Structure 1
Amino acid sequence: MTPGARISAAIEVLDDVNARKRPAADALKDWGLSHRFAGSKDRAAIASLVFDAERNRASAAFLMGSETPRAVVLGSLARARGMDADALMSLCSGEAHAPPPLDERETNCLAKGDLNGAPSFVAGDFPQWLEPSLTAVFGENTIAEMSALATRAPVDLRVNTLKAGRDKVLTGLAHLHATPTLLSPLGLRIPLMPDGRGPSLSAEPAYVKGLVEIQDEGSQLAALLALAKPGEQVLDLCAGAGGKTLALAAAMQNKGQIHAADRDGSRLMRSMARLERAGVRNVQLHAPRGSHDVLASLEGRCDLVFVDAPCTGTGTWRRNPDAKWRMRPGALAIRIAEQVEALEEAVRFAKPHGRILYVTCSILREENEDRIAAFLREHPDFQCLSAQELASTAHLPELARFASRLGLGLRLTPLTSGTDGFFVAMLMRGAHAAQ
C-alpha cells in the first residue's frame, strides 16, 4: 500500500469507530480481515495512524475546524508527525486509493492554523467533562500533564530475574537500541520507530524464552513496592492476565506461594502460558466457580494482598487513546464502587501484621487518595506508609519525590516519571501500623 492509501484506510477505520462507538482495536481487526491484501506492515502503519488520530482528536479537529474522520486524521498528521500542507498535499492526490486532494479551506487550516485560544480540554486532548477532576489534581499543569498523556508510549520490558540479569538481556537486545529504564532496576526501554510502531518482539529469542516480559515501567515499580519476599503467602486479588503476578513471582524467587484470582476466569487462564514461559512455579490460579468461595482457605492468612484495583484506566491513555473518548461520567462511580469492594475484600485476607498494596492505573483523585482516606476512616487498625518510608523500604529512595501532594501514596505520570499514570499506596495492619 502507498502512504496515501494507508491514510485513506485510517480515515475509513476512524469512521467505523465513530459510527459504531467501538474500540479502535476492534475496528482495525475487522478492517484487516476484510482487506487481506494489506500486509502486516501496512496494518501496523494504519493502526499507528488511527491511534495518533485518537490521541490528538480534540486538537486535530480544532486545528482543522472540523470533527470528521478525514479532518482528524489530517490534523493529527500535522500535530503528531509535523507534516505541513505541502507534505499532505503530496499524499492526498486522489490517485491509487489516496484521499481526495486538499480543498482550499483544509490547505489554509494546515498552513495557518494553531491552538491559540483553544480551551484547555482541546489543548490537552481530553474529555471536557473531566476537566474539573483533572484541574483539581494538576492545577496549572493540567494541559502539560494531559498533553504528555496524549503522546506515544515507549515499549518497556521487565527483565525476568528468574532467568537472566538486566545486563545480559541488554546486550541481547542491543540491535533494538534498548536502554535501562531510569527508575526500575529491572526495566529496559525500546524506542519507537518514526511512524510510532514498536518492534515485533514475538520473534525475539529473549521474549520467546521468557527472559523479558512487556510491562510498563510504572507497573514494574508498583510490583517492586509490594515488598514481596521469598516464602510469603501472597494474594493477587485482581490478577487479570498476570503481568504483576509474574513480577511478584520473580521478586519472591519462586519461593512461597502466590494465589492469583480474578472475576474474569477466562482472562486469568490466559496467564498460564505466560507463567510457563517465565519459569514461574509458585503460582496457583483461582478462577471463579459460581457461588463457591474459591479463596475461603486464605482468609486471614496472607502476608500481602495485592489489589490492582478496577479503575477508569485514565493513566494508560497513551496506550489506549480511544478509551478516553469512550469513557462516560457514570463509569467513574461504577469503578469507585468496585474499588471499595476490592479493598474490603482485601481486609478479609490480610493477616495480623499483614499488608495491602493498593494500585490503580488512574490519575483521578477520586480513585486514589480519596479511596485511601475513606478506607482509613473505616479501618483504624490499618495505617498507610508514607511515600518516603515505602520508597526507602523498597530500596528505591528516589521514588519518594513522587509522593502525592493530595494525600497519602505515590503518583506517577508520563510528564513527571516517564511512565504510565499510576497510584500506589501501602496499607499496614496491626502492630506494623503502630510502629
Structure 2
Amino acid sequence: FGDDRVAEAMAMASRAPLDLRVNALKAKREKVQASLKHLGAEPTPWSPLGLRITLSADARNPGIHAEEDFIKGAIEVQDEGSQLAALFTAAKPGEQVIDLCAGAGGKTLALAAMMGGKGRLIATDADKRQLAPIHERLSRAGVHNAEIRTPKGDADPLADIKASADLVVIDAPCTGTGTWRRNPDAKWRMRPGALEIRLKDQAEVLERAAGLVKPGGRIAYITCSVLQPENGDQIRAFVARHPEFAVQPPEQTATVLWDKAEAFAEAALQTPEGWLMTPRRTGTDGFFVSVLKKA
C-alpha cells in the first residue's frame, strides 16, 4: 500500500460492522430494513442487497439468528465485500454455475439468488467437513436448484463435467488477511510457510477450474486477502499458463453496481488483474476479485 500502509492497517484494526444480505428469493430490502429498524439497520453503501448494523467498539453483536427474518431465510450474515464479490461474477438465470470452494455456502446462497432458481448450480469443496452447514442453509433460503457434491475418497465429484460450465466461482483458500478486523487474533496465528501453502492451493484450484469452463465461459477468482502474491500475481501466473483466458477489465465487472459504479471505481483499488476492496477504501473486509473469460 506504499504511503497508505499505516492508514490501511489502522482501518483493518477497527471494529467491523454487522452486514446482512437480503435474500432476493424471499424478500425485498426495504421490507427487511423496516422489520430490523430496532437494530438500526441501514442500507449498505454499495451492495443493492445489503443492510448494515454499525457497532461501537465495545458493543455486543445483536442476536440476528433469533430474528424472524433470519429464521425464515430472508437474510444471511455476509460482509458487503463478499456480497459484491458474488455480484461481480454476474451469475445469470439459466446458466450452469459451479461453486468450486463452496465451504459453508455463503456465496452459493448469493449465486442461487442471482440465478433466481433457474439453471444448474453445483457446489462442492475439497474439504467435505466445510460443507456440513450448507444443506440447512440452502433449505432455509428456499434454494431448489443447487446440487451439493461431497467428495468421496479419491473420486472427483465433478468428473462428468468437462468444459461445459458457464461460470466457475473460486472462493479461494487464502491467508484471510482481509478479515483481520473480524478476526484480530488471526494475524498472530499465521504460521511460517502458511502463505506458500495457500499459493499452491490457489494455483491447483485455478488449474481445476480451467478444465471445467466452456469456451466463452468465465472464472471468478475471489480471495479475502490483501496480499499481492495471492491476488494479482496469482492471476498473472495463471494467464501466462493459459493464454486462452483473459482478464475482464474492472470497469466491465463494475456495471453490476448500476449507478454506483463510478463512485466504487474511485474508492476501490483497480489493477490490471481486478478489484481490491479494503476496510479503508470501501468500508468492507479486504476482498480481491478477478473475472477471467475463456476465448
Relative to the length of structure 1, the TM-score reads 0.66
Structure with larger RCO (C-alpha < 8 A, sep 6+): 2
**Do the aligned residues in 1 keep the contact of 2:250 with 2:270 (CA within 8 Å)?**
no
Deviation at 1:428, TM superposition (A): 0.2
Question: Equivalents in 2 of 1:330, 1:220: separation in Å?
Answer: 30
Question: Equivalents in 1 of 2:290, 2:205: separation in Å?
Answer: 14
**Do the aligned residues in 2 keep the contact of 1:309 with 1:339 (CA within 8 Å)?**
yes
Deviation at 1:402, TM superposition (A): 5.0
Instruction: Show the counterpart of 1:322.
Output: 185
Which of 36, 54, 64 aligns to 1:191? It is 54
Question: Equivalents in 1 of 2:243, 2:56: separation in Å?
Answer: 51
**Do the aligned residues in 1 keep the contact of 2:249 with 2:272 (CA within 8 Å)?**
no
Residues 1:405 and 1:294: Cα distance change in structure 2 (over 3 Å): closer
Which of 360, 384, 388 aligns to 2:247? It is 384
Deviation at 1:264, TM superposition (A): 1.5
The answer to which structure has the higher helix fraction is 1
Question: Equivalents in 1 of 2:268, 2:294: separation in Å?
Answer: 21
**Do the aligned residues in 2 keep the contact of 1:227 with 1:394 (CA within 8 Å)?**
no
Unaligned runs of 5+ residues in structure 2 are: none
Which of 123, 128, 135 aligns to 1:265? It is 128
Instruction: Show the counterpart of 2:283.
Output: 418
Which of 334, 337, 353 aligns to 2:200? It is 337
**Do the aligned residues in 1 keep the contact of 2:15 with 2:57 (CA within 8 Å)?**
no
Deviation at 1:202, TM superposition (A): 1.9
**Do the aligned residues in 2 keep the contact of 1:246 with 1:278 (CA within 8 Å)?**
yes
Instruction: Show the counterpart of 2:14.
Output: 151
Instruction: Show the counterpart of 1:294.
Output: 157
Instruction: Show the counterpart of 2:106.
Output: 243
2:234 counterpart SS class: helix
Which of 362, 385, 390 aligns to 2:225? It is 362
* Sequence identity (%): 55
Q: Tell whether 2:261 aligns with 1:397.
A: yes
- 1:66-215 equivalences under 5 Å are 138-193=1-56, 195-215=58-78
Question: Equivalents in 1 of 2:281, 2:246: separation in Å?
Answer: 27
Q: Which amino acid aligns with 2:167?
A: L
Question: Equivalents in 1 of 2:267, 2:216: separation in Å?
Answer: 26
Deviation at 1:266, TM superposition (A): 2.1
Unaligned runs of 5+ residues in structure 1 are: 1-137, 431-435
Q: Deviations over 1:305-341 (max 9, x none)?
A: 0001110000000111111011133111110011100
Deviation at 1:193, TM superposition (A): 4.8
Residues 1:154 and 1:299: Cα distance change in structure 2 (over 3 Å): same
Query: Based on CA coordinates, which of the two structures has the bigger radius of gyration?
Result: 1
Question: Equivalents in 1 of 2:82, 2:223: separation in Å?
Answer: 10
Question: Equivalents in 1 of 2:167, 2:54: separation in Å?
Answer: 35
- 1:11-50 equivalences under 5 Å are none
**Do the aligned residues in 2 keep the contact of 1:402 with 1:411 (CA within 8 Å)?**
no
Q: Which amino acid aligns with 1:290?
A: G
**Do the aligned residues in 1 keep the contact of 2:87 with 2:256 (CA within 8 Å)?**
no
Deviation at 1:405, TM superposition (A): 5.1
Instruction: Show the counterpart of 1:51.
Output: none
Which of 270, 279, 302 aligns to 2:142? It is 279
Equivalent pairs counted in the alignment come to: 293
1:296 counterpart SS class: coil
**Do the aligned residues in 1 keep the contact of 2:268 with 2:282 (CA within 8 Å)?**
no
Deviation at 1:407, TM superposition (A): 3.5
Question: Equivalents in 2 of 1:279, 1:406: separation in Å?
Answer: 37
Question: Equivalents in 1 of 2:114, 2:191: separation in Å?
Answer: 37
Deviation at 1:282, TM superposition (A): 0.8
Question: Equivalents in 2 of 1:194, 1:358: separation in Å?
Answer: 32
Question: Equivalents in 1 of 2:209, 2:5: separation in Å?
Answer: 33
**Do the aligned residues in 2 keep the contact of 1:402 with 1:410 (CA within 8 Å)?**
no
Question: Equivalents in 1 of 2:114, 2:245: separation in Å?
Answer: 25
Question: Equivalents in 2 of 1:247, 1:393: separation in Å?
Answer: 14
Q: Which amino acid aligns with 1:410?
A: W
Question: Equivalents in 1 of 2:293, 2:163: separation in Å?
Answer: 14
Question: Equivalents in 2 of 1:356, 1:402: separation in Å?
Answer: 24
Question: Equivalents in 2 of 1:305, 1:255: separation in Å?
Answer: 16
**Do the aligned residues in 2 keep the contact of 1:192 with 1:199 (CA within 8 Å)?**
no
Q: Which amino acid aligns with 1:247?
A: A
The answer to which structure has the higher strand fraction is 2
